Amino acid sequence: MIIDKLYENVKNNGPVCVGLDTSIEYIPKDFLNKYNSIEDAITSFNERLIDATIDNAACFKVQIAYYEALGLLGLRAYKRTLDYIRKKSGIIVADIKRGDISKTAEMYAKAHFEGDFESDFITLNPYMGLDTIGPYLKYVDNSEKGLFILLRTSNEGAKDIQYISAKSDRKIYNIVGEKIQDLGEKHKGKCGYSSIGAVVGCTHGEEAEKIREDLDKTFFLIPGYGAQGGAALDVARYMKNGNGGVVNSSRGILLAYKKQENGEKEFDRWAREEVINMRRTIEKACKSK
């Protein structure tokens, strides 16, 4: 199962998820000017980052919005990036956050689990109802595919809906988490975690240990590290023996070269250094908690 492969990647390569949220502004100007098209520039930038980090990364999260915003050329760069990760035997998390019902959800599932935009995991938004998840399950049942369903996100606005108290005096996100774990029960791998995981931001660390305790079979995609304010100790609360989740960083890795004098020429080197440092910091925090 795909979750077993991801679990092994965390065990061997560390828990870092490299976020390829590649904006044109993030690409060094001299590198960008070498290419005649945006498609080629983005693809080549991503390929160098993948090559530099794959041995210290559990997976790569590709946020589709950055590519959709550039139209057809951007989507071609998106496809080529997915193809390159697959060529390098990496694991792809397509960050698409879809949430719709019936035939619409079926088409989203087909679009991102088959064909040009095929990925290993996708992110979904369940807050329109859990029937929006149903059309994706046949790919989890029959293929090496997985889901990361939004539970408690890292943005400040998460409190607008996810923190509303229900009659049982639990928060909405607690109830959603329970439903995610129940849904994932029959999709568990040998590692003990399910291929149906949850997105849990690390910027609200005070609830972390309770979430981990309640969702003991749920693998986490953890955004919010670094640029959004999450720290290694916040992340460690979501992990079990250094595993059970992957920790995404996008801008912190993509823009690591900006911290160095004349770092633009070796942007991939500095991205690698950032990933290695992030891995070591998180692993140390997991051991000390």
Please state whether the predicted TM-score (pTM) of the whole model is above 0.95. Answer: no
Contacting residues for 65 by C-beta, under 8 A, at least 6 apart: none
H or E element that contains 157 = none
Q: What's the confidence (pLDDT) of residue 162?
A: 44
Domain ranges of the chain: 2-288
H or E element that contains 133 = none
Q: What does each of the 289 residues of the chain score in pLDDT, given as a tens digit?
A: 999 999 999 999 999 999 999 999 999 999 999 999 999 999 999 999 999 999 999 999 999 999 999 999 999 999 999 999 999 999 999 999 998 988 999 999 999 999 999 999 999 999 888 889 999 999 999 879 999 999 865 444 444 444 445 566 667 777 888 889 899 999 999 999 999 999 998 766 667 888 889 999 999 999 977 755 568 888 899 999 999 999 999 999 999 999 998 889 999 999 999 999 999 999 999 988 6
Q: Among 22, 7, 16, which Cα is nearest to 70's?
A: 22
What CA–CA distance (Å, rounded) separates 244 from 3? 10
Contact 134, 128 (CB under 8 A): no
Q: What's the confidence (pLDDT) of residue 289?
A: 65
| CATH superfamily of the 2-288 domain | Aldolase class I (3.20.20.70)
Task: List active site positions.
Answer: 97
Q: What's the confidence (pLDDT) of residue 285?
A: 92
- Residue 15 is classified by DSSP as S
Contacting residues for 196 by C-beta, under 8 A, at least 6 apart: 140, 146, 147, 149, 180, 183, 184, 187, 218
Q: What's the confidence (pLDDT) of residue 35?
A: 95
Q: What's the confidence (pLDDT) of residue 16?
A: 97
